[in-house]
Amino acid sequence: MEQSIKPAPPTAAPPDPVLAELLQSVVDTALAIFGAEASSILLLDTAADEMVFEAVSGQGQDFLVGSRFPGGRGIAGWVAASGEPMVVDDLRDNPSFDRSLAQSTGYVPNALMAAPLVHGERILGVLEVLDPSPGARSALSELDVLALFARQAAVALQVLLPRAPEPISADTRTRDELRRLLSEARDLLGE
Amino acid sequence: MTTPRTSAAPSPPLTWSLRGRGPLDVPVEADSPPEPPESGLVGGSGRGVRVCVIDSGVERDHPVVGPVAGAWRVVKDEAGVRVEETGEGDVCGHGTACAGIIRRTAPECELFSVRVLGERFSGSGEVLLAGIRWAVRQRFDVVNLSLSTTHVRFTEELRKLADEAYFQRTMIVSSAHNTRVESFPWRFSSVISVGSHQEDDPGLHLYNPTPPVEFFAPGQKVKVAWLGGTEIRTSGNSFATPFITGLCARVLSAQPRLTPFQLKNVLYLSAANVRIRGGP
């Protein structure tokens, strides 16, 4: 499957610093928790039918943010379209795994976890974790942890993303959502 | 499978009550489920059973998947939503993975594909609904749906379709969402809903005594077919579902006249955690 990554256009608007910091903290934390090689947040640009790297931690951190690739394809495309998380292994032996895309990111993973960034019925994008360390993975529960991070990112996006159609008015709901997230995080961490 | 299950016979009028007719006027040719538990409740190879995978497409000529008897895609554009034949295989790998598990479980079934993901605008509830509607109207014997929608506005239409499928003996096997999310149609009792268990046994299925997820099947680090004729390992309810789909195909190939409720009963009786009172 031929795919290519387009670098960020030089005219792109400067990112909201608070949003950028929040999303960066999500990918940094995901990277640390999973002992991964890379973690990224991809946002869906439905008008252009593309996905955009919005935050990256680890491999590709220096050059991927703002890059775009065609939506609807590959694992990130499936996750964005279906609204379901996905975990795959043994990719490096797989000659057809979005190789052109993976190579243009400068890193070809062997394992990949991806969860949708969902708010209500809207899918905003995808959170990816590349090559989580085997010790940090615990089978199915890893999907729960990843989904939790994805929800944090989605709530952050909902509050701060200028493109989101229902922005700040959702204050109470958002606060409730954050409270739920915190309580679920405690559950997952066994506190 | 014999023609009555697959032919598109005109629908009889709705029956509100049995008036002017007696039991002899409504004979039912039936298959009895096999005796539990040793006699191979899920015997059969899938031969003659038409199974449709609604997903991202299925790769052609994949060594693990084998022949795909027909492939369609749902297209949405300015003219509306329509279903058309397609020569393109899979754009992601997910549908191929599901098809491979069905083939492994029911080697002789006939596999069909309807692609609802991977096109522009795809992934919308509307496209998914169109794909399910089309598959139901084609009267496939089993429909594998490792997808769901969270869009509540499609719920009623989905429920009607699931009922239509149930009454015409099209068994929809539907994945529960992987996270704690309410989505459809797996929540309906007219479908078979499937989640993952964490056991290593690749042939183990369990009945959930506290539905709505009715059955659990292997869904952890499952070896699946992937793009380019390859295989990878992946986890999730998506991959537990086609195992149950394959079991349904096997059961139906041995007993083609089973109704969806009988089919569920076979899966129930053959589940590893269901113990019949007085049994071994």
On whether residue A4 sits in a domain, the answer given is no
User: Contact A149/A113 with Cβ under 8 angstroms?
Assistant: no
Q: How confident is the model at residue B258 (pLDDT cuts 50, 70, 90)?
A: very high
On whether residue A3 sits in a domain, the answer given is no
Domain membership of residue A169 as a residue range: 17-188
CATH number of the domain bearing residue A45:
3.30.450.40
Query: Residue B16 above 50 pLDDT?
Result: yes
As a whole number of angstroms, the distance between CA B265 and CA B259 comes to 10
Q: How far is A127 from chain B (nearest CA, A)?
A: 15
Which residues of B are less than 8 Å from A71 in CB distance?
120
User: Contact B37/B269 with Cβ under 8 angstroms?
Assistant: yes
The pLDDT value recorded for residue A152 is 79
Arithmetic mean of pLDDT, A14-38: 84
Counted domains in chain A: 1
On whether residue A10 sits in a domain, the answer given is no
Question: Residues B123-172: pLDDT tens digits?
Answer: 678 899 999 999 999 999 999 999 998 888 999 999 999 999 999 999 99
Active-site residues of B, by number, are 55, 94, 238
The pLDDT value recorded for residue A92 is 72
- Residue A116 tokens read as 């949708």
On whether residue A181 sits in a domain, the answer given is yes
Q: State the amino acid at position B197 in one-letter form.
A: H
* Domains in chain B, CATH or no CATH each: 44-270 (3.40.50.200)
- The H or E element containing residue A50 is strand A50-58
Between residues B244 and B226, the one the model is more confident about: B244
- Residue A139 tokens read as 């089978």
Tell me whether 0.90 is exceeded by the ipTM.
no
As a whole number of angstroms, the distance between CA B186 and CA B183 comes to 7
On whether residue A1 sits in a domain, the answer given is no
On whether residue A12 sits in a domain, the answer given is no
Q: Where are the alpha helices (DSSP H) in chain A?
A: 17-34, 74-82, 99-104, 141-160, 171-188
Q: How far is A84 from chain B (nearest CA, A)?
A: 6
Q: State the amino acid at position A42 in one-letter form.
A: L
Q: Is B119 on the interface with A (CB under 8 A)?
A: yes
User: Contact B58/B90 with Cβ under 8 angstroms?
Assistant: yes
Q: Which of B213, B156, B159, B154 is nearest to B181 (CA)?
A: B213
On whether residue A54 sits in a domain, the answer given is yes
Question: Residues A87-143: pLDDT tens digits?
Answer: 888 877 665 555 555 555 667 788 889 999 988 778 889 999 999 988 766 555 777
- Comparing CB atoms, the residue among B93, B119, B220 nearest residue A72 is B119
What residues of chain B, 93 to 112, have a C-beta less than 8 Å from chain A? 93-94
- Residue A152 tokens read as 């944090």
